[in-house]
Amino acid sequence: MNRKVSLLCISFIAIFVGNIFASEVVDDFPKGSINWSKGIVTAKGSGVPPSGAVNPSQARLMAERAAISDARRNLLETVGEVRVDAVSTVGSLMTKRDVIVTRVGGIIKGSLVTERRYLDDGSVEVTVEMPITGAFLDVMLSEVKAVPSITMTIPLPKPVKKDIPKLEIKTPVAPPDTKKVVPEPPKPATPPVPPIPPVPAKPTEPEKIDLSKVNYSGLIIDAREVEVKPALMPKVLNERGEVIYSSANMQKEEAVKTGVVGYAKEVDAAKKHPRVTETPVVVAALKGSGEKRSDVIISDGNARTITTTEPALGYLKKGRVMIVYK
């Protein structure tokens, strides 16, 4: 009986944990993974005890050090796969700028060891992780120029005045009538017309909600039906390619702390996320954009509603944006 209960508990925990991970946006690579929902990069490494160890304690310590070094090498390789924006990855930027290599390397050396496994043969396996916010995102924001967003108050083009020549049109004048005018006989008086009864007024239609006056607390972009890939610094564009939201909307200190956007796999999960708080507005993505397909295009109508809404200026500045990704 106890064994059955234990098996049921284990099955329940496995299903629960599986559902949690199923709702998170994760990119898996040979040497590690990027969890975009949690904002962390994870990698594993292993080490074996050297043959010249003096005692088992020293052998285990040396195997653990080797495992941590191996894990951090794998972490560096995985970090190189992180998409920065729609055109570049961390790896591509590191090949161009030595300062990024130096700063990222220092951050990886300080990565956290989250798990240690000591195996029977004396070898050790470890898991290390580092956040893609904080110091790491600070490097990217400092080295990659942000693209400022636009305001949607676009004036209509003024009509062009053209000088049109005036045409002089002569109206023919009728010759004078020489016939004798005979007065018409008086017409009989017409009876008074009875008053028209008043038409009952139609019931008024319910007032349409002006989306620009709704006090939304955040923005959720549903991109499940289009090809979009997560990145550190994605942009939201309208159909004309104008930037509606980017890292430039946020104060750098806020972006470093929370990231430019959040990612989820379900709209319901995004709605419950504290990033967008209680009353987010949900709009559909039309398509992904850029070489890495990390920028998101929304309709001009949605873009205009978002950027002309007074509360939007507040929640965009605070980075209260979530992208739902398949």
Q: Which residue has the higher pLDDT, 64 or 159?
A: 64
Look up the domain containing 246 and give its range. 214-324
Q: Indicate whether 134 and 49 sit together in one domain.
A: yes
Identify whether residues 218 and 320 lie together within a single domain.
yes
In a domain, 40, yes or no: yes
Of 39-43, 193-197, 274-278, 294-298, the range with the lowest mean pLDDT is 193-197
Are residues 139 and 31 part of one domain? yes
Q: Residue 168: what pLDDT?
A: 52
The pLDDT of residue 13: 38
Higher model confidence: residue 182 or residue 45? 45
End residue of a domain, out of 143, 168, 192: 143
Say if residues 72 and 108 touch (Cβ distance below 8 Å).
Answer: yes
Confidence of residue 108 (pLDDT cuts 50, 70, 90): very high
In a domain, 208, yes or no: no
Could you report the per-residue pLDDT of 117-142, keeping only the tens digit for each? 999 999 999 999 999 999 999 999 99
Please tell me the predicted confidence (pLDDT) of residue 277: 85
Q: Which range among 83-97, 247-261, 309-323 shows the weakest confidence by mean pLDDT?
A: 309-323
Split into its structural domains, the chain has a count of: 2
Q: The tokens of 169 are what?
A: 């049109």
pTM for the model: 0.74
The pLDDT of residue 205 is: 39
Measured on CA atoms in the order 134, 136, 142, 144, is the torsion positive or negative?
negative
What is the per-residue pLDDT for 98? 95
Helix (H, G, I), strand (E, B) or coil at 26: strand
Domain end: 143, 168, 193, which one? 143
Distance in Å from the first CA to the final CA of the chain: 41
Residue 245 counted as domain residue: yes
CA distances from 219 to 66, 86, 222, 276 (A): 45, 20, 10, 7
Residue 319 lies in a domain: yes
Kind and range of the H or E run holding 35: strand 32-35
Residue 78 in this model has a pLDDT that exceeds 90: yes
Same domain? For 120 and 226 the reply is no
The answer to whether residue 63 sits within a structural domain is: yes
Taking residues 240-246, report their average pLDDT.
94
The answer to whether position 70 is within a domain reads yes
The predicted structure's pLDDT at residue 12? 39
Please give the mean pLDDT across all residues of the chain: 82
Total Cβ atoms within 10 A of residue 177: 7
For residue 8, tell me if it sits in a domain. no
Of 105, 120, 143, which residue constitutes the final position of a domain?
143
pLDDT digits (tens, 9 = 90+) for 138-175: 999 998 887 787 643 444 344 445 554 554 545 555 55
- Which pLDDT tens digit goes with each residue over 189-240? 656 656 655 555 444 333 333 455 567 889 999 999 999 999 999 999 999 9
Question: Is 136 part of any domain?
Answer: yes
